Amino acid sequence: MIAGHLAGPAAASPIPFVDLAGQRARIADRIDAAIHRVLEHGAFIMGPEVGDLETRLAAFCGARHAITCASGTDALLLVLMAKGIGRGDAVFMPTFSFPAPAEAAALLGATPVFVDVVPETFNLDHQSLQAAVESVERQGRLRARAVIPVDLYGHPAAYPAVRRVAEDHGMVVVADAAQSFGARLAGERVGTLADVTVTSFYPAKPLGCYGDGGCVFTQDDELAATIRSLRLHGQGRDRNDFVRIGINGRLDTLQAAILIEKLAIFEDELAARKRIAKRYGERLRGVAKTPAAVADAQPAWGYYTLVLDRRDEVAARLQAQGIPTAVYYPKTLHRQPAYRAFAPDTIVAPVAERLAESVLSLPMHPYLDTATQDRIVGAVIAALSA
């Protein structure tokens, strides 16, 4: 990069936003051997590694059941299908989020209802949820059936408060932990904080595979059995019986084999993310609004996200020095063309709107060394004082 050259040694080579090569270098032998074993046994669909991974995932987060599937989006879809959610049902979710929860609800004919977030954790505001549920109930056209809190950037949502609202209105809580797998709230691991939890193994997520993958966690035996059937075309006890309309939602054996190796070092990677987040916080506090973990929470630090005034300008200055940043998400869901039809004019989400204009995520992964991190920090400070 010529501009980097001219700026001297401080602006060296481009930095990756998420560096999967660092992890690969650490466990390449183990992953290659695991892949080779699958190539040799040849059970590419529902091979032994799938069940083995599910046992390990359940043990990791203390859940009774872990049911792997083809993606985080399929995990959401499978849960809503298993709960029989469809036409006439309202599914509440934050408007400041990835579209997968809205997509799953809308594909089943249900109505996504968008709710504002709180500025501290970027997550669902339970008061805004309460108001939205009451409004839906007053109108009487839809039944309030489910709420999908999203643990944005790896920060667990305020589950106790959300659960209280859900219980009062007979709704199921489906935690979207795609960005927060490994996080804890009051000592409890994400995976057991809601009635049912989903996560994603997309490569850049805290625990990622080498393709698409996802998982559902629950303590509920009956729900688990239904989801296991749904991910296999609705298969019954006999493999030739189809007792419900399902999908092809399985995780590949190869991805399961890779995830077993990655899960073995995941705890250590979570500790590294925490260390890196702490260092960002110490160096950027007072310079920019840094993310604060609320009391009792141990985030998974899927992303490290600042709130800035001149966000786009800062991002451009960093980009010019080979420092990538990302904006999750520049537009609230209720303003997206696909979901506008679900957003009544009365919807107000001032916190989400403000965040959409001002969030900026910095490079974050367990293999970010301190020299690179300090280069990023230096560039952020320079950009903010420019």
Ligand X SMILES: *Cc1c(COP(=O)(O)O)cnc(C)c1O
Point out which residues bind ligand X (CB under 6 A): 71-73, 97-98, 100, 150, 176, 178-179, 200, 202, 212, 214
Query: How far, rounded to the nearest angstrom, does the alpha carbon of residue 29 sit from its chain's CA centroid?
Result: 28
Residue 166 or 209: the one with the smaller Cβ distance to ligand X is 209
How far is 329 from 18, CA to CA, in rounded Å? 17
Which residue lies nearer to ligand X by CB, 78 or 380?
Answer: 78
* Tokens 């609800």, located at residue: 105
CB of 212 to ligand X, least distance (A): 6
Least Å distance between CB 57 and ligand X?
Answer: 15
* Number of Cα atoms under 13 Å in the Cβ half of residue 56: 18
Q: Which is nearer to ligand X, 111 or 180 (CB)?
A: 180
The least CB distance from residue 150 to ligand X, in Å, is: 5
Q: Which residues contact 303 (CB under 8 A, 6 or more apart)?
A: 153, 154, 179, 326, 328, 361, 364
Task: Specify the residue, 111 or 199, whose C-beta has the smaller distance to ligand X.
Answer: 199
The residue among 94 and 379 lying less far from ligand X, judged by its C-beta, is 94
Which residues are within 8 A (CB) of 252 and not within 5 positions of it... i.e. 6 or more apart? Answer: 44, 45, 211, 213
Between 97 and 229, CB nearer to ligand X? 97
- Judge contact between 221 and 64, C-beta under 8 A: yes
Nearest distance from C-beta of residue 95 to ligand X, angstroms: 13
Cβ 329 to ligand X shortest distance, Å: 10
Is residue 265 packed enough to be buried (19+ CB in 10 Å), middle (13-18) or exposed (0-12)? Answer: middle
- Our CA angle for 298, 256, 202, nearest 5°, is 55
Q: Are 353 and 119 in contact (CB under 8 A)?
A: no
The residue nearest ligand X at its CB is 72
Angstrom distance (rounded) from CA 353 to CA 262 = 36
Q: How far is the CB of 160 from ligand X (least distance, A)?
A: 20
- At its nearest, how many Å lie between ligand X and the CB of residue 286? 29
In the numeric block, which tokens belong to residue 251? Answer: 């995780």
- Give 212 or 252: the residue with its C-beta nearer to ligand X: 212
In 3-state terms, the chain is what percent helix, strand and coil (to 5)? 45, 15, 40
Phi, psi of 49 (to 5 degrees): -65, -25
β-pairing, 89-94 with 172-176? unpaired
- Which residue, 71 or 305, is less far from ligand X as judged by CB? 71
Peptide bond preceding 210 in cis form (omega within 30 of 0): no
Say which amino acid occupies 142.
L
Cβ density class 321-360: b for 16+ within 10 Å, e for less: bbbbbbbbbeebbbbeeebeebbeeebebebbbebbebbb
| Cβ nearer to ligand X, comparing 179 with 373 | 179
Smallest distance from the beta carbon of 159 to ligand X, in angstroms? 15
The two structure tokens encoding residue 24: 């690969």
- Shortest approach of ligand X to residue 247 CB, angstroms? 13
Q: Minimum CB separation from ligand X for residue 205, in Å?
A: 6
Residue whose CB is less far from ligand X, 253 or 373: 253
